Amino acid sequence: APAPAGKAAEQAANKAGVIKLPIESIHRDKEQPRQHFDEEKLKELTESIRVQGVLQPILVRKDGDGYRIIAGERRWRASQAAGLKEVPAIVKDVTEVQAFELALVENLQRADLNPIEEAEGYRRLVEEFKLTQEQVSQRVGKERSTVANALRLLALPEDVKGMVADGSLSMGHARALLGVPRLPELQNLAKQVTEKKLSVRDTERLVQQSRSHGKKDAGKSAPKQSPQVKSLVEELQRRLGTKVRLTERSPGKGTIEVDFFSYDDLDRLLKLLRKE
């Protein structure tokens, strides 16, 4: 077994930036944002590495007697498949949250993540590392609305998230389907969209038709909302920036439902309500 890289190697890394590390001393990060790898592209990269070697070093951090990958798992996998004993690497002295941010940003820049992996990455920064959506957007160089819209995808049922992850449904399709309030109906519409290969615009029309039918069915048992109540709901949605439902149980009494898509989004809503 190759000897683990010692202090001399790490000192060389500090000076030159890039060192050769024994491939057996490196292991993947199970929590890294990217979880799916295209086998065909991995084979192509393996053949390229056999001929030209690893042209860009991987990014790692010290982990016990070895190293954990921050960025470059695909290159590491292909290097193993190509039979390499060592790979060029840059050792970074970073915290767990910094390592995750670096991995997420690197994958985003390479467009290596599917929309669900991207959303899960943002969710981890928000829920595990306690960053706000605004902080996440600043760290990864995205608009806050991009982060918020990505997090909304996590409200989809697992089978529909799978369709988004494998590319059967685009972000545009997913955003349209999020407008369907009832889960079975959402899943049914998602299947229709993929089977008929509907465009985003056609999907939006389909969702609108579904919502219209739902309103007609609900209207048979629910009292019709007055123009004043409708105006109030629209005003609440505008102020809160999310979906609001108001149900009147009797004149002057009822319930209000407000949608949120993450704990950070809930915190944003609470702050808005406190200001009021």
Question: Which amino acid is located at 229 in the chain?
Answer: V
Q: What share of the chain is helix, strand, coil (3-state, %, to 5)?
A: 60, 15, 30
Q: Which helix (H) or strand (E) holds 171?
A: helix 171-177
Q: DSSP alpha helices (H): ranges in 54-109?
A: 73-81, 96-109
Select which of 10, 31, 73, 158 is catalytic.
73
Q: How far apart are CA 274 and CA 276, in angstroms?
A: 5
- In a 13 Å sphere around the CA of 7, the CA atoms on its Cβ side amount to 0
For the chain, the residue count is 276
Q: 4 with 25: CB under 8 angstroms? A: yes
Q: Among this protein's residues, is 73 annotated catalytic?
A: yes
Q: Which residues does the annotation mark as catalytic? A: 73
